[in-house]
Every structure is written in C-alpha cells, then in structure tokens.
Amino acid sequence: MKEKHIILRNFLAATRDVFLGPFTPGGGAASFESLEANSLAVDVEEMDRSKLSSVARNSDVVAVAPAIPMKLIEPVPMEALNVDAQTETVNQGIAWGIKAVKADTSQFTGKDITVAILDTGINMNHPAFSGVSIEQKDFTGEGDGDKNGHGTHCAGTVFGRDVDGTRIGVARGVTRVLIGKVLGEKGGGSSEMIVSAIQWAVDKGAHIISMSLGIDFPGLVEQLRANGLPTNIAASRALEGYRATVQLFTSLASFVQARGQGAGQPCIIVAAAGNESLRNVDPTFEVAVSPPAVSEGIISVAALGQGPQGLTVAPFSNTFAQISAPGVTILSANKDGGLKTLSGTSMATPCIAGVAALWAEKLKSAGMFNSKLLTNRLIASGTNNGLQSGLDPFDIGAGLVQAPQS
C-alpha cells in the first residue's frame, strides 16, 4: 500500500565534496557556510513501505516520516476551568497576561523582528492589525482568512495593537508578519502542511515561528483503520508515525537553529505543550508535552492561570514544558471584530512568541542576535516570582517568562 511520506533532504550532504574544493558557487567568495543556509528541502512522495529503508539510506536524506493528521490545540471551555467569574482580565487598560510578563514596562517593542504564526489564518482587517504588513500563505486549500478564529486570537496576543483602549499585544512594534494557514475551519491539518509552512517561514525571513497545534493521534489510527488495517496494526503503525514525526521535527528544528548561527538568519520555534491534562479531576492526571512541541530544538510552552496565592499551572496544561506564560482567560482579537477571552496552552504560546520578539530586538540592537542566544535568554528569563509556592517544576519549566526591561 502506498502512503504519503515527508522527506527532509540536505543537499549539502550530496554536494559537500564539490564545494569543499577550490571552486565556490558563482566563482566568488561563497563559503561552505553560505551553502548550508539553503541546503534543506522538503519533499513529499507517495511510496510503498518496502521502499522506506532504501530512501532513508540516501546520503542526502535527514529524516523520513509519514504525513499524518495534525490538529488545532482547542481552547478549553470556561466551565471546565472552575475560574472565578470575577477573575481579572484587564487592569488599567492592559490585559492581565501583558502585565504578568512585564511587557508593559519593557522598553522593547519587537521593532524590526519578523514573526510567523502557523495556525488557522488571520482576519487581517481587524483593527488590532492596523499598520502591520501581513503576508499570508494558505497550505490547506481553504483560501486566506480565518474561518475558525484561533489564528486571529493568537496573532492579537503576539503583536496586536490596542483595541478600544485595551492593550492585548505583547510586541506592538512588530510590523512584518508571516501567516501560514496550516489548519482549516474545523482545526484540521497535516504534518506535510506544517513542515512546508516552517520551511516557507524560514525562507521568508522569520525570526520567530509560533505554533499552537499538535499530532492528531486518534485521527491517525482511524485513518489507518479506514485504509483497511486491523485495529492493533493501525495502532502500531500510528506509534511508528508518532515517533518518526517527533524525529522529523527535531531534524527540522536543528536545521532552523543551524541557519541562525553566526551571520546567518536567527530563527526559533515555539509550540504549545497541549491541553490534555486533567488536574482539576485528579492532580496526578497529567499528560506529557505532545508533538511537535516535544521535539528537541522546539521551545515547549505551558499555561498559567491566576489563583488566590499567585499564578498557578493551568489544570489542562501538559507537563514537562520548558517555559510558561499566561494561558487562562486571555483577552485578544476576535475574528468577527472586538475582543474575546480564550484559555489554553495555545494562548500561552503566542505570549512566549511576543516576549521572544522583545528579546530578539534587544539582542539585535546589541549585535548579539543568534538563535542559540535568543533561546537561552528567553528560557533564562523564567521566574517563580508571582507564582504560587510549591508548584512542580516539571509543570512550569523555567517559570513565568519575562520581557527584557532595558
């Protein structure tokens, strides 16, 4: 049976011997490093499983994984959170999450930093995005725009301008944005779309890529069963696909990071940890970070909410994330106009992306901008100040992310 597979190729491996000699591309001063910056290619091929091993042995192949279903990390309904109706969402005209990460007191705005959001698209006519240069690319076949609303809400948190006197955006100085529509109206997509969108975003100059999505494992099992596989075989194949996809995103992230070292193009990827935990049912009902956030090289994000003794881990937030941000009752742009509140690690992730833009501006202005340093500064900014005491470090990672102040 033929299946669609994603193949990451490193053309550098196949042409290394040519360019390490006295010849340089174009006859000028091009170097091995400059070739490396454009060496990654994404191919999608239909092939029999019997051919996988031979393809994987090719010298230019970095990773191979089946194209599998991906889905939106759905916001958590308010009634499932046991949130006090009086919980503060705005303080002095500023959304509570903005204050929590100290973006409101930072001297940085995200100026000259390009952010990519891979989600359900965007309503670019919303007043929150006035004056922003937005480039859209649809990977779903549904067309530009946002029929779901999730992408518009996430975008508002990253760079949204004030709406009716209320600040919702972390990095209001960001003026260039890439919107990759990788999820449709009902929140469905595929790993093929997302990998292609990451490559597109990097090629377009993204410094920060924000993703609030994950593997649809049950959907993958059902897809395989629909293709005629018995349940146990379908589950086994799905596990194979799960593992291969984690490795695929790890390889992709490593290329993105390598491209950002030295004089290259710095870029980091942040992704939502997932909303599958059920701490409000039982404190031990925790689920680990889901792909692609679990892949090495991608910054995984947990969600925090307000509590009587300080900020606390959201009951739904998956554990073992690297860093945390506000993710409960987050006020941002509504696709139909105005503002609305949503909750989830999906809401915490664009907050991290916005803070990353502030750190990127700081490093860029100091001539120190590279992917590794940006990642280190972002995670090192995490603090337990303002958090409820006794929280499990595995649940909050480095703590609450903080914006640079000076």
Model confidence, pTM: 0.91
Cross-strand partners of 333 = 339
pLDDT in tens, the chain (406 residues): 688 999 998 855 443 333 333 323 333 333 333 334 446 788 899 998 888 889 989 888 989 999 999 999 999 998 778 676 557 799 999 999 999 999 999 999 999 999 999 999 999 999 999 999 999 999 999 999 999 999 999 999 999 999 999 999 999 999 999 999 999 999 999 999 999 999 999 999 999 999 999 998 888 899 889 989 999 999 999 999 999 999 999 999 998 888 776 547 899 999 999 999 999 999 999 999 999 999 999 999 999 999 999 999 999 999 999 999 999 999 999 999 999 999 999 999 999 999 999 999 999 999 999 999 999 999 999 999 999 999 999 999 999 999 999 9
Pairing between β-strand 69-72 and β-strand 94-95 as defined by DSSP bridges: unpaired
At 28 the pLDDT is 33
Q: For residue 10, what pLDDT is reported?
A: 82
DSSP-assigned beta bridge partners for residue 305: 312
Alpha-carbon gap, residue 395 to 289, rounded angstroms: 10
Q: Is 351 left (phi over 0), alpha (psi -120 to 50) or beta?
A: alpha
Q: Distance between CA atoms of 312 and 69, rounded to whole angstroms? A: 32
Dist. CA 94–CA 13, nearest whole Å? 50
| DSSP line for 353-366 | HHHHHHHHHHHHHT
Residue-level pLDDT at 85: 57
Note the pLDDT tens digit of each residue in 240-270: 999 999 999 999 999 888 877 654 789 999 9
Over residues 367-400, the pLDDT tens digits come to 999 999 999 999 999 999 999 999 999 999 999 9
Q: How far is CA 355 from the centre of its chain?
A: 13
Cβ neighbours for 343, distance < 8 A, ≥ 6 positions apart: 75, 76, 78, 81, 83, 303, 305, 314, 316, 327, 328, 329, 330
* The pLDDT value given to residue 39: 64
Q: Kindly calculate the radius of gyration of the chain based on its CA atoms and give it in whole angstroms.
A: 21
Q: Which of 170, 83, 71 is nearest to 128 (CA)?
A: 170
Instruction: Provide the strand spans (E) within 102-228.
Output: 114-119, 133-138, 176-181, 188-190, 208-211, 213-215
What number does CATH give the domain 69-214+247-396?
3.40.50.200
